[in-house]
Amino acid sequence: MVGRRSYDCPMRWVARRVRITRVWFVSHLQRKMPDMQRIPTENTATGTVLEAPRLLETLSPSRASDFKACPQLYKFRSIDRIEEPPNEYQARGTTAHLALQRIFDLPAVERTPERLFDLFREAWMDVRPVEYADLFAGVEEERRWGIESLEILANYFGVEDPSTIEPVERELDMLEELGGMTIRGILDRMDETDEGLVITDYKTGKAPPERYAIPAFFALKIYALLIRRRTGRTPAKLRLLYLNGPVVYELAVSEAQLDAMERQLAALWSVIDLAIRNDRFPTRPSRLCDWCAYRQLCPAWVQPVQEVAALPMP
């Protein structure tokens, strides 16, 4: 039967109803949230309506992406600051970023695959004791991860030749005031090219299919805004360089696009500020939940079971 499922167990049916109600409520709330503005407070002595002070102080492109993907995920990471257990994907990303940053410290002729692999090994020795000491159960597991990481890293040379590139910025720590917002983030790389400034973001995960690539540029557009703010120049192009493929997605940038992005960011800032004020962070279940580190804590996954457990048996 199309569009229907039969549930022979009443508990499973109730669980599904609870889940549907929750998802509806969340999506309804999320549709309403962008319409809400800062909560006005009234000075009862003068009758003057005052703007409530902002609670959100700084926002990074990655945390803004978190909130867009799932407000509850943002809360776990940015408000509750619950540490995520390290995993091998994060370890690969951190180590590869360091190696790709350091390769441009070398003279152009030395920027070879072998040197990049050496830099990866050195970077791993730097980060392993600090962040990933207990990540692997044994040497063999770590070795398998290392070989797989080097295979992915080797793809870099299929995309570009680092001996022909002299970045103008690498791992650039940015903190900018933008229309009343304070935005902070670390930009992977920026090059001066014939087309103008090009911002590149390295990714060690798999690329999304092309039809879903545009949303993946969200964070890079924020970086482009920060660069425009800092230098007065609008970057010409954004690049997402997925080593695991490899796949490169590029997006030309215009002033109008960045103006629209600034408005979108301001609206998002207001919504996050309101969420903090009201302590309302709806869950947004999606495929992201499959690898979300907080799933065991998430109301979207934990609470329905508790609610169902509290219901009397028919």
Nearer to ligand SF4, 59 or 300 (CB): 300
Does position 275 bind ligand SF4 by CB under 6 A?
no
The helix (H) or strand (E) run that includes residue 127 is helix 113-131
Contact between 272 and ligand SF4 (CB under 6 A)?
no
Least CB distance to ligand SF4 at residue 115 (A) = 39
Cβ 286 to ligand SF4, closest distance in Å? 7
The candidate with the shortest Cα–Cα distance to 181, out of 61, 303, 17, is 61
Binding mask 230-269 for ligand SF4 (x = CB under 6 A): ----------------------------------------
Query: What is the helix (H) or strand (E) element at residue 271, kind and residue range?
Result: helix 255-278
Give me the 49-88 binding string for ligand SF4, x by CB under 6 A, dash otherwise: ---------------------x-xx--x------------
Binders of ligand SF4 in range 197-236 (CB under 6 A) = none
Q: Which is nearer to ligand SF4, 200 or 283 (CB)?
A: 283
41 contacts: CB under 8 Å, gap ≥ 6: 49, 50, 51, 52
Looking at the Cβ atoms of 186 and 293, the one nearer to ligand SF4 is 293
Nearer to ligand SF4, 167 or 299 (CB): 299
If we measure between CA atoms, which residue out of 157, 132, 165 comes closest to residue 146? Answer: 132
Using CB under 6 A as the binding rule, whether residue 284 contacts ligand SF4 is answered as yes
Binders of ligand SF4 among residues 123 to 182 (CB under 6 A) are none
Say how far apart CA 82 and CA 84 lie, in whole Å: 6
240 strand-pairing partners: 201, 249
Residue 78 DSSP symbol: I
State the Cα–Cα distance between residues 106 and 115, nearest whole angstrom. 9
Q: How many Cα atoms sit within 13 Å of 179 on the Cβ side?
A: 18
Query: How far is it, in rounded angstroms, from Cα 249 to Cα 276?
Result: 34
The residue count for binding ligand SF4 (CB under 6 A) is: 15
Decide if residue 18 touches ligand SF4 (CB under 6 A): no
Contact call for residues 49 and 41 (beta carbons, < 8 A): yes
Regarding 298 and contact with ligand SF4 (CB under 6 A), the answer is yes
Q: Which positions lie near ligand SF4, rule CB under 6 A? A: 70, 72-73, 76, 283-285, 288-289, 292, 294-295, 298, 300-301
